[in-house]
Amino acid sequence: MSHSTTESQTQISYRWVIVAIGALMSCVGIGAMFSLAIFLQPMSADTGWTRAGISSAMTLNFLVMGAAGFGWGTLSDRFGARPVVLAGSVLLGLALVLASRATSLPAFQLIYGILVGLAAGAFFAPMIAAATAWFDTNRGLAVSLVSAGMGVAPMTISPFAAWLLTSYDWRTAMMTIGVAAWILLVPAALFVRQRPAGAEVGAEAPAAEGSGGMTAAKAFRTPQFFVLAFTFFLCCAAHAGPIFHMVAYAIACGIPALAAVSIYSVEGLAGLGGRLLLGVLADRLGVKLVLVVGLVVQALVMGAYLHVNELSEFYVLAVIFGTAYGGVMPLYAVLAREYFGQQAMGAVFGAATMASSIGMAIGPWAGGMVFDSFNAYDWMFIGSVGVGFAAVAVALAFPPLPSRQREQLQPA
């Protein structure tokens, strides 16, 4: 076996290392951020801070993470993913350690809301961009596996935080998660590599696709980017409210509290499977078709929640809903790569992620406003259905692929 063949096989194998690192980083980053829900009650009891005040740090997390994703993505285009995720790894641990030492609510809100959000934004867009560079075939699956880390987070970091709280106070538990983030992420960041120039990592790869593509400035002026970002925003604005308020809605429908929490867990598990299922289908059937179908299913199932009141019915809808909203999320990255190429992938996908984060921040707030006004969630679901079908309409307006890419995708 020649040296060049062995080297090529090593490169093919290493792309799955990149996927594994990306999944780990998205799991720890998002899991650490969402662990605030586990700390909420003991923090409030220990400090006297209001739950609304503590929870506001999460809203700040979403907004900062979205803006940071764009900034970190742009830096990864220029300097590569490794220094970006290494900086994010160091910052995440530092932010959690500092937040665990906060002595006032405003200090905690600023440290946790800004620094944790800033650190969490360093992983998703840069690692998605790195993964898409390594894959010319099975790109949908690769992106889905990286984003699957977000689905695993509630089943790993959150239980770890709850376990720590059985033996330690919230400050020690939060600091421990920060140290664990350093231990896991800093070494992993050192293994992140860019795809070697001219490397063939897929037998069916289009020869000219490589790492070319538009600059970020040019991409942002195209109708394709507007459609991508607006669809992503509407998609997240549609499902964020139902996801966040699902437990409260189930309890209002007469479901016992512990069973209502299990509905949320079923959604998370289904979302993990949906990422893999829709990623594989996108590789085989085309990403736009799978995205549109996923958005239609998401909109329909949100309307179906208006007509359920039995636990078994909630479970059935949770499986469908989780599969739909979890499955469509990675597809935006695949579309960004197909439309704009690799050159500015970090910046382009980071900007699209920023739009989605705004949608995620609006959904829970809007759902709360609806409930406070009507003492019911009906109008939240009705509004979510409308926004969901608006996302379908915008997704259908995706322009054809640029002529350069169409030519590359045609068989020789």
For residues 181 and 160, give the distance between their C-alpha atoms in angstroms, rounded to a whole number. Answer: 12
CA distances from 132 to 233, 272, 317, 376 (A): 22, 19, 32, 43
Residues 109 and 59: beta-carbon distance below 8 Å: no
Tokens of 122: 């360093």
- Asked if 139 and 333 touch (Cβ cutoff 8 Å), the reply is no
- DSSP assignment letter at 191: T
Task: Give me the domains of the chain, ranges plus CATH numbers.
Answer: 3-190 (1.20.1250.20), 216-400 (1.20.1250.20)
Q: What is the pLDDT of residue 157?
A: 85
pLDDT score for 8: 52
pLDDT at site 310:
92
Distance CA 29, CA 93 (A): 10
Task: Please give the distance of CA 96 from its chain centroid, rounded to a whole number.
Answer: 20
The helix (run of H) or strand (run of E) holding residue 152 is: helix 139-165
Would you state the pLDDT for residue 9?
Answer: 56
Identify the sign of the CA torsion 2, 7, 10, 15: negative
Structure tokens at 262: 């299990």
330 residue type, one letter: P
The token pair that represents 351 in the structure block: 């900007």
- pLDDT given at position 299: 97
Backbone φ, ψ for residue 213 (5° rounding): 135, -175
Give CA–CA dist 244/367, Å, rounded: 8
Rounded Cα–Cα distance for residues 350 and 69 (Å): 5
pLDDT string in tens for the chain (412-residue length)? 555 555 555 566 888 899 999 999 999 998 898 788 778 778 888 998 887 788 778 778 888 988 898 889 889 888 888 999 999 999 999 999 999 999 999 999 999 999 999 999 899 888 988 888 888 777 778 888 888 887 787 778 878 888 898 899 999 999 999 999 999 999 999 999 888 765 554 444 443 344 456 888 898 989 889 999 999 999 999 998 888 788 788 888 998 877 887 887 788 789 888 988 998 898 889 889 999 999 999 999 999 999 998 999 999 999 999 999 989 988 998 898 888 887 888 888 888 988 998 888 788 778 878 888 888 889 999 999 999 999 999 999 887 665 444 444 344 3
Give the pLDDT of residue 407: 42
Q: Is the dihedral of CA 206, 225, 77, 57 positive or negative?
A: negative
- At residue 341, the 3 state secondary structure works out as strand
Alpha carbons 324 and 302: distance in angstroms, whole number: 11
Tell how far CA 106 is from the center of its chain: 27
Query: What pLDDT does 12 receive?
Result: 65
User: Quick one: the chain helix, strand, coil %, rounded to 5?
Assistant: 80, 0, 20
Per-residue model confidence (pLDDT) at position 150? 79
